[in-house]
Each structure stands twice: as structure tokens, then as C-alpha cells.
Structure 1
């Protein structure tokens, strides 16, 4: 039985020298409070030294079955005034929901009397039936028979049609010859004979089609006797799964500071899809907050860190801190944190305020600018200030759409701007045909041993946690980057990066991912560690002038 006492952890050392947070953490972009860092350090020591459970996090070399996990700490104050923290993990650990020291799930679907296990058992039974039926050799046999019958029908009918075409040619020649050589009576008799032959061939085609229709129908019925049972079982499974999912959504009920409780169906009702993503409510953040509200503790600050090997598609650094996920946690935390004084959302602040854009080149058709870091290329959802807006203000007479290509907000460097429609069309054509040569320079955290290489990792957006990107061999778009080492220090490597494609966050992902350079770009707050800036700069750009077609090359050194 979990209670207030066995999940609340007092700090092992005195925290008198620490100041308490003035407001609660904005969970989707934050720097961990010093007390959260201390709590995380204590929790990490516990994970490393405890002996009550075993879980393969992939830290000992065996990464095939490894499952890294997100852990969270919530700094809380009890009613008596004592300060401590709560600990949680996302999902399950060691196939368990309940682990000593960690807060329990908001709803424990794994209890012995849970409806989940009973209904899941029913779904599993259908899965076993499906697996048994799908491996029935008769299905493959009947599919082959059906395919053979269809092919035989096609061949014979096509052969008969060719025979009819040849017959028509012969009869036409006979009629033409008979018209000149036979008497009228004999010619009438010939035409009647030829007409009878034509009708006979048509009847033969009809009978052939009827025969093969019957053969194919019989083959289809034999196959359907087996596949109909599969379809019925799939429909039953789908209905049972949907019903079970709805029941689960109703059981996940989340408290907030005012004691208001909402289930997942209520919370996601205002979201466009209305359907909570799989795993909603199982993340560390909602578990921690729900437990604090349930036991009357005041949440002060929180932080979440990754422990273990990264999933193959994602980029997660061991012990690195990460914000709460967007698709699952944002709607839930929106309810849970209602009425709590919270840090400002730094993503709403205009990062371009006070910054200027240097013009590297300008003529009547195009402009090349040096975009500062933390400066949008085009207006965002909440921030209009951008390269586009500044250029529109600077060149109000421009007839072109201005923006030809983009740089990530955090990336600095060269961008080409089209001032006329003709220039835009020409420049766009160059970018689409990939004749524009781009070179980026980056500082990465780590020392590369090789001097150069090529990275091919297909990419797509992380639908659960935008704007993060994933490496995905199934649904990702091709992405290729060539790289060369420029210089090395004791802890970092300066590299040139040449992207052949232009996927979102391509260079950042290709550097940070374990199948890429396995070393994040310095200052990468999404895939590595935050610093004063992202050390990625679009250093040089080579293209043809959009009107004169004169070769042009621009270069601006990075300021890092």
C-alpha cells in the first residue's frame, strides 16, 4: 500500500543553503532547479545501488533487449512544512507498475482484480486464434489455386479473342472474294454461313467466360471460408480493444490543486482528434503531480531525466534532462497545473528582439543575409518577428515571396532572399535540383576519431513530441550528410557538414544519433545539452545568380 510516507523522500543532506523556487517549473522548456538537480542525483544513486528489482537499461553492453526510461523528481512541501521530493518513472520497470520508493500509477491496470487483465486475456485468446488460423497451410494453398484459376482464365479468354480477331479477318476476305466471284444465291448462302461461324465464336467466348467465372467463384468461396473467420475475429478484436481503451481512459482520473478530477476522455475532449494517444497518463510528470495532490503536498518544481540506452529511433542522452512530451502530457498537465503560479513559457518570448540582420550581398534581384542564431526564418505560431518580416520591412517594393529556403531558428548563417518573382523561380529551381552547394560548420561535444564520412539516416517528425525528429527506416524520408573534421580539442571537434537533403533538424539529428556521429552539436537543447547557443552555422553558399547565371560564392565565418 502506497502512502504519503513511503513515497516522500527527505533530502539526505541539509538544504538550508538552497532557495526554494518562487514559481512552479514550466514543464515543456526549463532549466532544472538546483534542488531538483540534487533530488535527481540522489535518485540516480538509488537506481545504481538498489537490489530490489532488475531492469535492463542497456548500460552494461546488452542493448538488444534494453529499455531506457524517463524518470522524474517532484520537489514538494508537506503540510507540516517539510521539504522533500517524490520519484516516478514512465510506463513500467521490470514489468511492474509498483516499485518501492516510486509513486504508483494513477490507475494500476495490473492488479489481480483489474478488468484490464480479464479483457486483455480475452483479446490475447483471439490473437492466438488468429495466429493459428493465419498459419493454416490451406490459406496459402487456396490463394495459389485462385491465382492459377484467374491466370488460366485470362490466358484462355485472351487466346479465344485472338482467334475471333483472326476469324473476322478471314470471313471479311471471304465476303470480299465471294462478292466478285459467286452468284447472288451462292453469295447469300456464304454470308449466312459466315454469320453462323461468327455467332458460334461469340457463344464459345460466352461459355468460356461462364466456365471460368464458376471456377474462380468456387476457388474464392473455398478461400473465403477461411478468411471470413479471420475477418470476423479481427472485427471482434478491434471492438474489444476499443471498448477496453475507453474503459481505461475513464479510469485514468487526474487531480489538480483545487481537487478537481478529470479523466482522459474529458481532458482530450477539446483536442482535435479527441483520442488520447497510447500511454497517456503513464508518464512520470502526471504520476508525480497526481500523487502530490492526493496526499496534500504542494508541488514546488520538477525535472525529468533519461536513464539508459536510447531507443533506436530517438535521441536520448543518459542522465540528460528533458521536457515533458507534448502530445500526451500537454493536455493532462494543462488540467493538473491549472491555478498554479508557473514560470513563463520562454518559447513565447521573441528571441530576435534587439538583434539585427547583416546584409552580405544585395542587388536588384536578390539579397544574401547572415541570420543570427535564435532568429526565426519565417513567422511562427506566436512570434511574427523573423527574417521574412525584416526583409519585407527592408524591401517593401519586392515582388518576390522573399524566402527561398530556411534555416532552423537556432542555426546562424547565410540565407538567400529573392526580391523578384523571376529570381525566386530561378533560385528555387537551383535548390530543388540540389545544384546549390551549402557548407555548415559545427562544434560537436566529443572527439571524433575518423576524419570524414557520410551519414545516411532517414528521418520523420516525432508525432508524440514535436518539434523533435526521429530516425525511421519505415516511414522516414531519405537524409544524407557528408562531414569532414576541421580541428579537434580535448573535448570537442569542429566539423564541416554538407547536407545533400534538407530535412528538418537533419544536421542536429545526424550528429547526435547513435548511428550518426553519436555526438550532439554543442548547445543543442533538443538532442544534447543546452549552452549559450547552438554551435551550428551556415558558413558558405555557392549558387548561380538567378538572372545573369554568374557563379557566386558567399562565406561568413562562424562567431564561435
Structure 2
């Protein structure tokens, strides 16, 4: 914490020994950057100090004064990477010029209209054939049909089928404009393939230059590390090796320094898609950093890489002592609703630890089927609905899929200064599409391009001030959809309420013994009786 404070003072512009930070540096980092500190001991003298690093580049440089350098500096103007990057840029420019060709844009519109006309011509003839067939069928119903007329009707049918074939052949003939346009598109496709091949080659070359050193002095490049790591792909994600953690450890291991403690904090504005809070500490990301850390640290690696160094954060993986049973809130012959405490998994994790499902099976030894009709995050408390028969399980699943089970959650949130909740807005609807952050599971991200729709109604139902002077609002949240971490993201994100749930270990801005989110109410029509069921369970906060 002392090391982080020392670095933060320098970032604020205070005169701090060891750093030369100018206005351009501060302006860029104010837009958002991850910084890291590593407390180390000198192996020869035993002296204690710290190293500092930032992720990626600042001002197009990886060697700012006062910070450890990049593991591999590929930004040298005349270096291999820059030369080949320039080649790829030239291909990009060629593609852009071709794609902006006005004549080919006009040709594309003409060809599209031509295709439409062709399809309509064939469809019109099909309708004509259909009408002619109806007339023939009607005529054949009459008993006075002569052999000659029967033959004529057959010839008419054969002729029209042949005519349809000739028509298709005729309209399918490629025009000179289409031949030119297709050749033009082939040129663009070839350039795109070349660009992809060169990019893949350059990326692999770059990964092969990042030779990471472990605590025992052994080295391996990123391609080798990923080939032996338990990761979804054998190719590292772009930017691997450029985060704070590997840069700090690489410097320590190559300069006779023993790492003692490490922490990363966010400085400045949050990115648009993910959630980061100024001055908050964050663990290593799952996708890019953890495979490298597992190689570099080996048995020095903490048992739980998700645990931040700072006590200002809580964690999804820090479960409370498992209960022996669950409070039953509602029960009938086919349905049961229980109150899941915060810190208890809904279903067993990789370690097959105690979960709400395992407790339910103990409570209902004769129940059939999967039981749980839905799940709650481990950090969320409240109502879990389960079926005691397999048929009821499928009936409840159907109700959830059709959004016929209406849920109300209670949450305590700590709004940022620009939160709409502080402008007197007491209720409303948030619509922010979400998708998984593949490089940092299970975190979600706002994704306006590929995300799944996520909609939440909210209402302010209370206000208080905590002992430290923070404004805390009590919200009723009613999700219209059921995306992963939907309520947590909609509360925390700047495009949502910009008021993170207190104690949220992934997206929060205020520490607490638990995450203050509780599933408080379920309303639905009973699948068997049709009776309206209203189940309520008040939070303990």
C-alpha cells in the first residue's frame, strides 16, 4: 500500500523521487490505465524496495522513466515488427481504396437490382405455371376429356417445365459488369487473405520474442507457455506479456530481486465496455496474465490468484462457512423455495463443495430430476426456486424461458457523483446488451455490437449515509431478462446507473463483508393449479 501510494502521488503530479511524469503522460493516463507495484528484496543485500509498471504503452513508449521496461520492446522504428506492421498497413490502405471505389459501389447496386429482377422474373413464371396447372387439373376432372386434349395438356405441362429451365439458364448468365465486379471482389478477398496470413505470422513472431524467465531462471516464450497451459487455445491473446504483472516479475527475475508482494490498481476513467474504478485494486486477468504467472511463479503462486492484495476489495471465491440446511420459504407437493445465503454456490463448483443443490438433495431425498429451476450468483442471497418432480422442473424452466416468473431483487448501491440516481431520478429502465469478457471470465462487458439484450427496471426505495459519509441507496431491481451478472453490470456501468452494488467483488466501488444483493420476491402462476404464487423473503440488510 505504501508503494502504491508513492506511485499514485507521482501520477497526481506531486514531486516524487524516481519518476519524470509530464503533462502528456498524465493526460493520457487520465483516460484509463492499469498500473502495478511489486515489492522486492535484493538477493545480495536484503534491501527492500519496489518496482512500478504500466500495462501496454504510454505515449507510444514502453520505457518511460521510473517504470520497468517491456519484456520485449517491439516498438523500435526500424525493427522487424514495425517494418512488417507497415507492410500490413499498406495492404489495409489498398483494401480501403478498393472498397471506396465509387464505380464498384454503383456496380454493386446495379447487380443487386439485377438479381432482384431475375428472382422476380422466375417467380412470376412460377405463378403462371401454377395457374396453368390449376386449369389443367380442373379440366381433367371432366369425364369428356378426349385423348387429343389429354396429350395437349401433358405437352403444355412439359413445355412450361422446359421453359422454366431455359428461363433460369438465361437469367443466370453473367453480364460483363458482373464479371468485372466479381474479379474486383476476388482482388479484395486475396488482399484480405494476405493480410490475415501476414498478421498471423507477425503475431506468432512477436509471441516467440517474449522470452519469460521463471523464478528458477528457466525461460520459455509465450507460444511454449500457451502450448503447455490449460487454456481454450494454444495461441496467446493479443497483448499477452504486456501487462504489469509479467513485466514486473521479468525485471525482478533478471536483476536478482526476490518478489514479495504485488498489486495492480486502475488509474483514471473506466473503459467503455468493462468496469474499472479509479484507485481500485484488481487481480490478474484470467485470459492473458494467469498462464504467464503460473509459469513464472510456479510454487510461489498464491493459492487463489483472484484475491487482490488490497483489503478494499472482496471476492466471489471467498465463500462463507457452508450451512447444514436451507431455510424453506415456500413448499407444496411439487415446488419448494429456499433462502440461499450469500457466499453459497447454487450448484457444486469444480471442487464439488457444498452448494444449495447438494443441501436441497439432502432435504428432499425422494425428489426427482435436476431440482433447481434457476441459479443465483454465489455472492447473491435470496430466493431459489426448485422442483420436487422432473415434470415440474420442466414446467418451471418453461416459465423462466417465457419470462413468466417475475423477480424482484433488493440492492444497496453506492452511486458515483455523476449517477442519474443523484439527479432525483427515482425509477426507470436500463437497457444495456451484455456479453462475456472472454479474456477475464466470469466478468461481463457491455457489448453494443454482439451482446445479448439485457433489460432491468429499477426503483429507489430508500437512502442512507454510511459511517464514512458515502451515500447509499436502496433499490428494487426487476430484471426483464436473465443475463449473467445483469443486475451487477446495469448498476455499476457508467451507461447504466453508475452506482455499483456495495460489496460487489467484480464491479464494486465500496468494500463490504458481503455483496448487498438479495432475491426478495418471486411471482408466477402455479403450473399445476394455475393459482397465483407470491413468495417473499426479506434481506437481512
**CA distance in structure 2 between the aligned counterparts of 1:113 and 1:259, rounded to whole angstroms:** 31
* Contact in 2 for aligned 1:371/1:414 (Cα 8 Å): yes
Equivalence for 1:107: 72
Secondary structure class of the residue paired with 2:196: helix
Equivalence for 2:187: 229
Tell me: CA distance 1:390–1:167, structure 2 relative to 1, closer, same or farther (3 Å). Answer: closer
Aligned positions of 1:196-215 closer than 5 A: 209-214=168-173
Query: 1:231-261: CA deviations, max 9, x gaps?
Result: 1111111111111011001001110110011
Higher RCO structure, 1 or 2 (CA under 8 Å, sep 6+): 1
**CA distance in structure 2 between the aligned counterparts of 1:115 and 1:224, rounded to whole angstroms:** 35
488-497 vs 276-285, which moves further: 488-497
Equivalence for 2:312: none
2:235 maps to 1:275: yes
* Contact in 1 for aligned 2:326/2:360 (Cα 8 Å): no
Equivalence for 1:359: 328
CA displacement at 1:442 relative to structure 2? 1.2
2:145 maps to 1:145: no
Tell me: CA distance 1:494–1:228, structure 2 relative to 1, closer, same or farther (3 Å). Answer: same
Secondary structure class of the residue paired with 1:306: strand
* Contact in 1 for aligned 2:38/2:263 (Cα 8 Å): yes
Equivalence for 1:125: 90
Equivalence for 2:540: 559
TM (norm. structure 2) is 0.86
* Contact in 1 for aligned 2:39/2:51 (Cα 8 Å): yes
Equivalence for 1:28: none
2:482 maps to 1:502: yes
CA displacement at 1:377 relative to structure 2? 0.7
2:60 maps to 1:91: no
Secondary structure class of the residue paired with 1:495: strand
**CA distance in structure 1 between the aligned counterparts of 2:445 and 2:405, rounded to whole angstroms:** 26
Secondary structure class of the residue paired with 1:337: helix
Equivalence for 2:16: none
Aligned positions of 1:390-469 closer than 5 A: 390-446=359-415, 448-449=421-422, 450-469=425-444
Equivalence for 2:176: 218
Q: Which has the larger radius of gyration?
A: 1
Secondary structure class of the residue paired with 1:402: coil
Tell me: CA distance 1:194–1:308, structure 2 relative to 1, closer, same or farther (3 Å). Answer: closer
Secondary structure class of the residue paired with 1:455: strand
* Contact in 1 for aligned 2:382/2:537 (Cα 8 Å): yes
* Contact in 2 for aligned 1:483/1:497 (Cα 8 Å): yes
Tell me: CA distance 1:554–1:198, structure 2 relative to 1, closer, same or farther (3 Å). Answer: closer
Tell me: CA distance 1:538–1:180, structure 2 relative to 1, closer, same or farther (3 Å). Answer: closer
CA displacement at 1:53 relative to structure 2? 5.4
TM (norm. structure 1) is 0.83
2:527 maps to 1:549: no
Secondary structure class of the residue paired with 2:377: coil
Gaps of 5+ in 1: 1-36, 60-65, 182-186
**CA distance in structure 2 between the aligned counterparts of 1:83 and 1:463, rounded to whole angstroms:** 37
**CA distance in structure 1 between the aligned counterparts of 2:161 and 2:317, rounded to whole angstroms:** 76
- Coordinate RMSD, CA, aligned: 3.1
Tell me: CA distance 1:163–1:112, structure 2 relative to 1, closer, same or farther (3 Å). Answer: closer
